Amino acid sequence: MDVDGDSSSKGEEEKRNAMVVILVGAPGSGKSTFCDHVMRVSTRPWVRICQDTIGNGKAGTKTQCLTSAAAALKDCKSVFIDRCNLDREQRADFVKLGNGQVDVHAVVLDLPAKLCISRSVKRVGHEGKLQGGKAAAVVNRMLQKKELPKLSEGFSRITFCQSESDVQAAVSTYRALGPQDTLPSGSFGGQKNPDAKVQLGIMKFLKKVDSPVNEVSKIDSLKDSVTNDVTKENDSSSMGQEDIRVIADEEVKRGEDLALGSLEGTSSLENIPTLAFPSISTADFQFDLQKAADIIVEKVLEFVTKHGNARLVLVDLSSGSKILSLVRAKAGEKNIDSGKFLTFVGDITRLYSEGGLRCNVIANAANWRLKPGGGGVNAAIFGAAGPSLETATMERAGSLAPGKSVAVPLPSTSPLFCREGVTHVIHVLGPNMNPKRPNFLNNDYIKGGEVLREAYSSLFEGFASIVRSQETLNKEPKEKIGSIHLEAPVDFKRSHMNQFSTADQKVKREGVYESEGNKKCKGFHEEQESKTTGAGDRSDDAENEKNNGSSSKDWGFWAQALYRIAINPEKSKSDVMEISDEIVVLNDAYPKAKRHILVLARYEGLDRLADVRKENLQLLRTMHDVGLKWAGKYLSEDNTLIFRLGYHSAPSMRQFHLHVISQDFDSRHMKNKKHWNSFTTAFFRDSEDVIEEINKFGQATIKDEYSLLKMELRCHRCRSAHPNIQRLKSHIGKCRFPFPPSLLQNGRLVVATDEDGTNQ
């Protein structure tokens, strides 16, 4: 008896966990493709009921659909009702299938009519034979009778999809459902007022309801604000077949096929910045799941309220994940928009290739050493990204404190970049409740909660910073005249500008930063007395590069200022601070800090770091010693300064030169991201490291200039992210955080010392 009772109870539970999902949408809205995308991945048993094929592969009746749906539910299977269901009457009988025991959902594919017409006209081999020219008229006619569903019809949940991103979010939600999972009740997504009559997509749409909405009263409250004569001037009856044909033809010409069938490749979806992240600290670090879920939802709600242009995805490998279930339920209670936050079951390193979910940033639940190894997410991400991730990580930080994160750009050679489209990995470290792991908190959940909140705040802010950076880059012109703003004297420009070739007037290179592009040096213009002279100089330069092993490069006229000073320093005596047979020292004309000088090599053929070889080691040591001497001079005048000596990986000014720059970066000439990143990322190669590399390998490692100069703005001390250079400069003026461990080694920083020789 007990066994039979358990079996009966289990059967009732499975029946309760089954659900009916009624798809609502015009032909061409993507209903069948929606079902296909969910059923291909979901671990839940689904049955698709389609009236176009219910009669042994041919069109059938509504009664046949109801019978088949009831039989599937009896077998404890969930059901998709794939019909148009555009009015309440058509939906009513299917809603009754729930019978108070089974949840009945509606997924409303309320996409623009123009798009539905385009899809319907273009498709071939449709199950219901609705394709070609006749499809446009059918879609037009059906949309005139459209009545959006309401919770009062008997639905426990309605998801409104008015864009491709809404559809993708809904697909992900239903894909992630395991056999025993449920979804929170209410209305979700970007819905319109369901009581308004909406005509063709080219007409005026009504005011949107705040989304998501859980109460029918919130929908009904908009009734008074909607006029009774909505879009009468554009009534669909006034549209003839010729108008419809023109709409379809335009769509075909544009080649827009944004059906769910092409979900995995649509640019509109790929352009949504998305962060995929695991639950922090709930695996190996054993943080309480209920408490962790509360914090996740709290911090997610803060993020989606503040950032409307990005999406968060909580990922777990297991379809039976308790943390996913808890977070889904709590997110539903908080009415978090499922288009901005969703949960997803899958391998975080294969979200796109295996799950069709494109995420350009993923988070790693890292260890404090920021090293590969262990198990779980950390091992998986380091393994999938390849050794380049460990190298890139070590360039950013040597370790990580609980509650902190560090964003690491992935090199384009990384498999995660190539295969999955992941551009950044954000390492984050949460609190630890495992006595066998470092930083054990001994079940102190007050402290642990604070650390976990800080961890998610740091993670999400790091993601937001990446999004802002990418948005800024997307707005920049593809080709521009660098950052060159050097203004020659007016009389000089008037008399000589017509003598310069276009190549001399414009240096068309991205990545030119002002600290080197804007050099005002006496004698700079004096050697350009005629067009012939200038051309001769360029020919000589090319020959020198060829003879001295320098990589071929077309240095523009303005980019040769340092070269001219190095070769003929006597013509710039008022600017030069020190001259020897090997070097020239001068102030950077546009300093990026309180103290910023350049030590120039006086050797032909040494244009940049890539040209330096082992035979130049003595020169490197001489330049380094001269730099240290000048740093010491400035430290004797102001012992609060801290200096760093180094080279740019790919300088914009010709002639090999060393930067000696104080780390306050207090200068009005520090104006933009390229300025900042050229001195605070791996693009800036420390002098000590360059000497060591060339001594061992015969040449220095050259970092990728383009990706590094375009990175997000981060404090060089605490690595916090900032939205713009003004906010960053305000922060660094007050930041007293210790420098990263990587800078405190190998003499990379030069500081004042006490009389006994110890650092102050």
Q: Report the run of H or E that residue 24 belongs to, with start and end.
A: strand 19-24
Domain ranges of the chain: 17-269, 272-475, 499-751
- Reference 415, options 407, 425, 405, 406; nearest CA is 425
Q: Would you say residue 34 has pLDDT above 80?
A: yes
- Euclidean distance between CA atoms 569 and 580, whole angstroms: 10
Reported as a pLDDT band with limits 50, 70 and 90, residue 473 is: low
> For 640-698, what is each residue's pLDDT tens digit?
999 999 999 989 899 999 999 999 999 999 999 999 999 999 999 999 999 999 999 99
Instruction: Identify the sign of the CA torsion 614, 618, 621, 622.
Output: negative
pLDDT in tens, 360-417: 999 999 999 899 977 789 999 999 999 989 988 988 888 899 999 999 998 877 889 8
Query: Can you give the pLDDT at residue 172?
Result: 87
Q: Residue 376 has what pLDDT?
A: 87
Q: Decide if domain 17-269 falls under CATH 3.40.50.300.
A: yes
pLDDT tens-digit map of 481-521: 233 233 333 332 333 333 333 333 333 333 333 334 333 33
Residue, of 760 and 248, whose pLDDT is higher: 760
Residue-by-residue DSSP string for 608-646: SGGG--GGGHHHHHHHHHHHHHHHHHHHHH-TT-EEEEE
The pLDDT value given to residue 138: 74
What percent of the chain lies above the pLDDT cut of 70? 72
Q: Is the pLDDT of residue 243 over 50?
A: no
Lowest mean pLDDT among 170-184, 359-373, 425-439, 618-632: 170-184
Core vs surface per residue 47-66: b (16+ CB within 10 A) or e: bbbbbbbbeeeeebeeeebb
Two structure tokens written together for 319 = 């379809």
The question of whether 496 is a catalytic residue gets the answer no
Q: Which CATH number fits domain 272-475: 3.40.220, 1.20.120, 3.30.390, 1.10.287?
A: 3.40.220
Q: Return the CATH fold of 499-751.
A: HIT family, subunit A (3.30.428)
* pLDDT tier at 10, thresholds 50, 70, 90: very low
The amino acid occupying position 472 is T
Strongest mean pLDDT among 21-25, 473-477, 505-509: 21-25
What mean pLDDT is predicted for residues 118-133?
Answer: 62
Strands 78-82 and 46-50: parallel
Q: Which one from 657, 659, 675, 716 is the annotated catalytic residue?
A: 657
CA distance 757 to 760: 9
| Torsion angles phi and psi, residue 639, rounded to 5 | -80, 0
Contact 258, 268 (CB under 8 A): yes
159-173, 389-403, 555-569: the lowest-pLDDT one? 555-569
Q: Model confidence at 52, in pLDDT bands (50, 70, 90)?
A: confident
Q: In whole angstroms, what is the distance from residue 242 CA to residue 680 CA?
A: 61
